[in-house]
Amino acid sequence: MQAETLTARELEVVRLLSEGCTYSRIAERLGISEHTVTSHIKNLYRKLDVHTGAAAVFRAFTLFDDGPSEAGSPGYGIGATQART
């Protein structure tokens, strides 16, 4: 699977999953409905060929150098919004 097949919104959703957000919290943070979050999650699972949120996050980290970015740009991975040690 190529990284560019994930949409910017799907990348945001998987990033929030990696932070431990619930579907409800993801919906709130992105300003979308929980139903829409569920749709994005289903698409992520299909595209990443996984069946759980943890597996989606793991697969995303393995497909991207530092995880998927908020904007889909290299170098700004999942952890980009978190303090680095």
- pLDDT tens digits for range 46-69: 999 999 999 999 998 888 755 555
Number of Cβ within 10 Å of residue 67's Cβ equals: 20
Break the chain into its structural domains and give their ranges.
7-73
The better pLDDT of the pair 78, 5 is held by 5
Cα–Cα separations (whole angstroms), residue 51 to 20, 32, 57, 69: 17, 23, 11, 21
List CB contacts of 8: < 8 A, sequence separation 6 or more: 71, 72
Topology of the domain covering 7-73? Arc Repressor Mutant, subunit A (1.10.10)
- pLDDT tens digits for range 4-49: 588 999 999 999 999 999 999 999 999 999 999 999 999 999 999 9
Q: What torsion, rounded to 10 degrees, do the Cα atoms 62, 18, 29, 24 define?
A: 120
pTM of the model: 0.71
